[in-house]
Amino acid sequence: MPSESSARPHLFFDWTLFLPALTLSLVGILTMSTFGQGSSLAPRQLLWLAVATSLYFILATFDMRFIRRVSVIMSLYGIAFVLLALLLFVAHPVMGARAWFSFGLISFQPADFAKLALIALLAKYLSRRHVEIGDFRHIIVSGAYALTLTLLILVEPDMGNAIIFGTLWLGMMLVSGISKKHLAVLGLTALVIGSFLWFEGLKPYQRTRIISFVNPAADIHGSGYNAYQAKIAVGSGELWGKGIGYGTQSKLRFLPEYQTDFIFAAYAEEWGFAGVVLLLSLYALLFIRLGQIARAAATNFDAFFTIGVLILFSAHVAIHVGISLGLLPVTGQTIPFMSSGGSHLVLEFALLGIVTSLARHGRGATRDISANEYVGG
């Protein structure tokens, strides 16, 4: 029977976790290389992939259990808060949103870092109080942490990431065992907040996008243009696709933001339904492995952290694909590992690295830590 130490190298570099993510990234780069701007997009994304995968191996190698400490988690949350607040004062608007810090050729989106901070904070909070989640006070406190970052993102404005933050918090609440009564209260609260945002919080173009989603054919040359072109791209791929490099919607620039918000539509046009099944199978493999790691986690924190990563990735995929199929209003949403951009790709591989490290070193958790998690100390 192999010893625990001999089994550790398997978890050291979790290939069943790493390879699907790497393949998805390479598929994204291959899709970008067929665009009109492929000569600049693909090599740059390949460089970001090298940075991201290197970070994965570094984090997977080191013992990341220190991320369980309250001082570390609150520091991450504080940094995220400061960065998001600074955006409102020093960042230059890009497409109407103050969402990026630009340093020459490199741009950094603090919302990506804030996702790591929120996952860690909710994982810590729920790991110590999940048995008391029936107390509505804990729902309010955890919601306040999430709402603070979400409001800062809404002010940018970045509706896409605001939805992701809300989905992340709600998903982790559901996993923790929230009662149906409290869920109904949250639903009514969301309805009130949504009504307020519709009249006071949403920009005119955001309201127009939602209206065009309800009736997309009303203005296909204006507010409904993006969704209409995305549906054309996906549908025109048919069963086997038009072939790599033969997607007209992206190459002829009919499909907007084809390298980020609509890369799934560009991919579906070239690879067809068969390629979409293959792509979603890769995501399924990744999600299944994350679920396995969460179930086998040594501590509640490790389990909740891994579940948080799973919820984050699955929410991004569901919303991005839903937008491309015309099932959801256009919000500007990347898809994990595939979309162009460095900060989100680095975050995604960093999260996988932390999950791998926690799974590898998790059995070293002390009895005191495990006890505190269960009694809410």
Task: Give the pLDDT score at 26.
Answer: 95
In the prediction, which pLDDT does 95 show?
Answer: 67
Decide: 263 and 340 in contact? Cβ < 8 Å: yes
pLDDT of residue 103: 76
- What pLDDT is attached to residue 228? 67
From residue 105, alpha-carbon distances to 36, 119, 347 in Å are: 20, 29, 19
Best CA proximity match to 336, nearest among 347, 326, 325: 347
Distance CA 241, CA 243 (A): 5
Sign for the pseudo-dihedral over CA of 91, 308, 142, 302: negative
Q: pTM of the prediction?
A: 0.85
Instruction: Please tell me whether residue 107 adopts helix, strand or coil conformation.
Output: strand
**Residues in the chain with pLDDT values less than 50:** 1-11, 38, 366-368, 370-372, 374-377
Q: Residue 243: its pLDDT value, please?
A: 78
What per-residue confidence (pLDDT) applies to 347?
A: 95
Q: What pLDDT does residue 6 have?
A: 40
The pLDDT, as a whole number, for residue 252 is 58
Q: Give the pLDDT confidence score for residue 196 in this predicted structure.
A: 73
Integer Cα distance of 85 and 71 in angstroms: 21
Predicted local confidence at residue 23, as pLDDT: 96
pLDDT of residue 131: 56
Instruction: List, as one string, the DSSP characters of 208-238.
Output: HHHHHHHSGGGGTTTTTHHHHHHHHHHHHTT
Of 71, 156, 72, nearest to 111 by C-alpha is 156
pLDDT the model gives residue 130: 57
Which pLDDT does position 108 carry in this prediction?
83
